Amino acid sequence: MPKLINQQAELVADDYLWLEDLAQLPTDEQQGLLVPLALWQQARAELQRFKRLGVKLASDEFAELIAADLGKFSLVAIEFPKFVDGRGYSTARLLRERYNFTGELRAVGDVLLDQLHYLKRCGFSQFALRDDQNLAHASAMLQVFSDSYQSGVDQPQPLFRRRQLA
Amino acid sequence: MYRYDEVDQQIVDARVSEFRLQTERYLAGELPEEEFRPLRLMNGLYVQRYAPMLRVAIPYGQLNSEQLRALAQIADQYDKGYAHFSTRTNLQYNWPNIADVPDILADLAKVQMHAVQTSGNCIRNTTTDQFAGIAKDEVADPRPWCEIIRQWSTFHPEFAYLPRKFKIAVNARASQDNAAIEVHDIGLQLVKNEAGELGFAVYVGGGLGRTPIIGSLIQPFLPWQHLLTYLDAILRVYNLHGRRDNKYKARIKILVKALGPEVFAAKVDAEWQHLKDGPETLTQAEVERVCQHFIDPDYLPAQADAEQQLAQLRSDKPGFDRWLTRNLTEHKQPGYAAVTLSLKKVGIAPGDATSAQMRAAADLADRYSFGLLRVSHFQNLVLTDVRLEDLPALWQEAKEHGFASPTVGTLSDMICCPGGDFCSLANARSIPIAEALQARFDNLDFLYDLGDLELNISGCMNACGHHHVGNIGILGVDKKGQEFYQVSLGGESGSKASPSIGQIIGPSFSEQEIPQVVDTVLSVYVQQRQAEERFIDCFRRIGMAPFKEAVYAKAD
Ligand code: SF4
């Protein structure tokens, strides 16, 4: 099982049920659900009844595909099929910065310690660390850099603007 | 040059701690090679044919004497007492131990240096003209812009895992392009519009390698304020849409070609509309802050008779005259010149320097050039600010340290990648070819008679030796496990017009045949040239046929 952590490297419970097809749809509408984009597109009506709904984007499914629906989701998961596939970083920033998504943004798939810092800067709030990753290092890897040059979701003002204020 | 403030230093120091942790995890077996690989590459560490190779960034080729001494110290302490200056103006150590690399990076950080993003599928070291800031015909000094790009690209969170490596070059001269911007992923040409405002012409999708392509102009005038937001837009389009299924098709040039430059430009523009005027919009204050680091040194007024005295000395000493003719570059400041310290001594691999030479070059810089140096993509060092009256003394000292080969810009000043002697990607060795050619064509009169001639050698299609844009290009190829060399003619970079990509002359040659092939090519040129016609101009006039005929007639 992947270990789900937040930006403080604390373990958090995954209270979303990963649903692959409608046959397994629970009756309790309070149950959190995480569904692939295709399932959402095919079964919007059935899924919308659930209060806590998450959608999962594959790395080649881009932000604009869910932009209009973002208000319905409390969670968006972005999949990293391989950690070197960097498309999810752009998707995350677009969701946060262009489409103003404020719910949980979760990195899933090949999520490794050494990418946590970058993921966090791009707006991910949760990280489903691959199960072999040593949690003991997570906090260090999230805190290596105390400052960054560029604008990011965590710090919209690039360093050069803050330098001018200092 | 740019000096770090506290935050710059903190960021580089943090990177060292991060990589120390990662290396420890790797050495402890916690981090598998496959996952360590991109991390070490982004810290400049390759695993080469015989040993690891560490590539240190020399941002836009600029270096001070203290840094060069630190580099020499590292060569002594962790390597075999020498290092290699690369065609991307970086420095490579060929024999460090992986376990030592965090310590090397820590030593580098003490002199405001690093190996950040010198490899890997991320934004690499930005390059520019080796004479930036001292050339007469600059629209503006490109170095502050390179530094602004360096900071923006350093650990850019969104673009650390691009489909492939990404190189940006900046040129500021109207008449010349030593940075070869049109063969980069992004080429930026500083320009002024009719109102006299500064901006950039933006070229995208150029590159050498397997599919050499000249970049397309997608934005003729980008006001400087928008530089970073526009770069963000280009990189985002590439990050999302660049191919990731085939590493040979993953460079941005393939995307630009597949979409067509107009469609690509439209996509970038659509993306940019959202980013434009956002927080990354550059401010006057930031540009001024960075420009402060690149103000001219305190030049002394030119001595009235300096030029005369030089002229006298030149006629007395032919060696001095030769050196000045080839190794001196004009300076915007009267009374000053730039001097190229050649790293192309016959018998030594092009671009290699011993630690003693590095220290000597640092001393020369302190004594004669305000303590500053440049690395050129021709793999030489440059002292940018030398007083004319110091030239005789500098010449003497340069000779003592093996820097005075009076051959800059000639056939003997060839560009050569490390090739099969070091590089695990190589198809063939390149250094022995360079050595054989230097040895065969070592007659200065002959070299001068040939005049400006760029000969470039790469050990494989990755084209680190820029063979495509050499007037004569030599490429290592593998023929049934044997090392062979393909020769191309007619490439050019750095010219006023667009760079041109060389054409392959025909079937490849063995190592032994190469000097004779080059000899034949040169004889055709010598026979056919018109007065003062450069090799490249002659080639353009007469075409490939006479060369081809002569070369294969002899080879048969
Ligand atoms: S051109 Fe090929 S052989 Fe030469 S350094 Fe580059 S990758 Fe290695």
How far is ligand 1, taken at its centre, from the CA of residue A41, in Å? 48
- What are the structural domain ranges in chain A? 3-165
Residue B423 CA to ligand 1 center (angstroms) comes to: 6
Topology of domain B134-293 in CATH is Sulfite Reductase Hemoprotein; domain 1 (3.30.413)
Question: Residue B82 phi/psi, 5° resolution?
Answer: -150, 170
Query: Which residue among B154, B282, B289 sits closest to A149, beta carbon to beta carbon?
Result: B154
For residue A93, the chain B residues in CB contact (below 8 A) are 158
Among candidates B17, B21, B38 on the partner chain, residue whose Cβ is nearest the Cβ of A84: B38
For residue A25, the distance in angstroms to the closest alpha carbon of chain B comes to: 33
Percent of chain B with pLDDT over 70: 98
Rounded to two decimals, the pTM is 0.94
pLDDT of residue A1: 81
The strand ranges marked E within B208-266 are 216-223
Helix, strand, or coil here: B143? helix
Strands (E), A8-144: 16-18, 32-36, 53-57, 75-80, 104-109, 126-129
Q: Give the residue ranges of chain A where pLDDT is below 70.
A: 166
In this structure, the number of other CB atoms found within 10 A of the CB of residue B220 comes to 12
What is the model's pLDDT at position B324?
95
Q: Which residues of A touch B278 (CB under 8 A)?
A: 151
Q: Does B151 touch chain A (CB under 8 A)?
A: yes
B288-332 residue pLDDT tens = 999 999 999 999 998 888 888 899 999 999 999 999 999 999 999
* Nearest Cβ partner for B236 among A83, A90, A112: A90
Picking from A121, A145, A151, the nearest residue to B14 by CB comes out as A145
Would an 8 Å CB–CB cutoff place B156 in contact with chain A? yes
| pLDDT at B269 (0 to 100) | 98
* B105-137 pLDDT per residue, tens: 999 999 999 999 999 999 999 999 999 999 999
Q: Is the Cβ atom of B423 under 6 angstroms away from ligand 1?
A: yes
β-pairing verdict for B62-64 and B52-56: unpaired
| Choices 1.10.3470, 3.40.50, 3.20.20, 1.10.10: CATH for A3-165 | 3.20.20
| Nearest alpha carbon, ligand 1 atom 6 | B464
CB atoms within 10 A of CB B549: 12
- The question of ipTM being above 0.85 is answered as yes
- Domain positions in chain B are 6-110, 134-293, 306-400, 415-555
pLDDT score at A50: 93
Average model confidence (pLDDT) across chain A: 95
Domain B306-400 belongs in CATH node 3.90.480.20 = yes
Residues of chain B with pLDDT below 70 are: 48-50, 495-498, 554-556
Q: Which of A85, A98, A151 sits opposite B279 (nearest CB)?
A: A151
Inter-chain residue contact A146 with B25, CB threshold 8 Å: no
- Note the pLDDT of residue A79: 98
Contact B473, B489 (CB under 8 A): yes
> Touching check for B35 and chain A: CB below 8 Å?
yes
Q: What is the pLDDT of residue B413?
A: 93
- Any idea which fold B415-555 has? Sulfite Reductase Hemoprotein; domain 1 (3.30.413)
B126 touches chain A (CB under 8 A): no
Max intra-chain CA distance, chain A = 58
Residues 104-123, chain A: which have Cβ within 8 Å of B?
112, 114-115, 117-119, 121-122
Angle, in degrees to the nearest 10, between helices B6-27 and B33-41: 160
| C-beta of residue A33 within 8 angstroms of C-beta of residue A16 | yes
pLDDT computed for residue B497 by the predictor? 63
How close does chain A come to B277, measured CA to CA in Å? 13
Question: Which two tokens mark B384?
Answer: 């940018």
259-288 in chain B: CB under 8 A from chain A: 274, 278-280, 282-283, 285-286
pLDDT at A164: 78
What's the pLDDT at B306?
85
Alpha carbon distance B155, A158 (integer Å) = 13
Fold designation for B6-110:
Alpha-Beta Plaits (3.30.70)
Local structure of B84: helix, strand or coil = strand
**Residue B392 Cα distances to B223, B324, B364, B370, B401, angstroms:** 45, 10, 13, 17, 15
Q: What does the alpha-carbon distance between residue B98 and residue B47 come to, in Å, rounded to a whole number?
A: 9
User: Using the beta-carbon criterion (under 8 Å), do A86 and B39 form an inter-chain contact?
Assistant: no
Residue numbers in B near A117 (CB within 8 A): 157
Burial code of B459-482, b = ≥16 C-beta within 10 A, e = fewer?
bbbebbbbbbbbbbbbbbbeeeee
Q: What is the pLDDT of residues A55-94, one digit of tens each?
A: 999 999 999 999 999 999 999 999 999 999 999 999 999 9
Spatial separation of the C-alpha atoms in residues B326 and B195, rounded to whole Å: 39
Q: Which residue shows structure tokens 């060929």? A: B94
B417 lines ligand 1 (CB under 6 A): yes
**In the prediction, which pLDDT does B496 show?**
58
pLDDT for position B380:
94
Ligand 1 centre to CA of B459 (Å) is 5
pLDDT score, position B498: 66
Question: What does the pLDDT read at residue B480?
Answer: 87
CA atoms within 13 A on the CB side of B553: 9
Chain A, 138-157: which have a CB under 8 Å from a chain B CB? Answer: 140-141, 144-152, 156-157
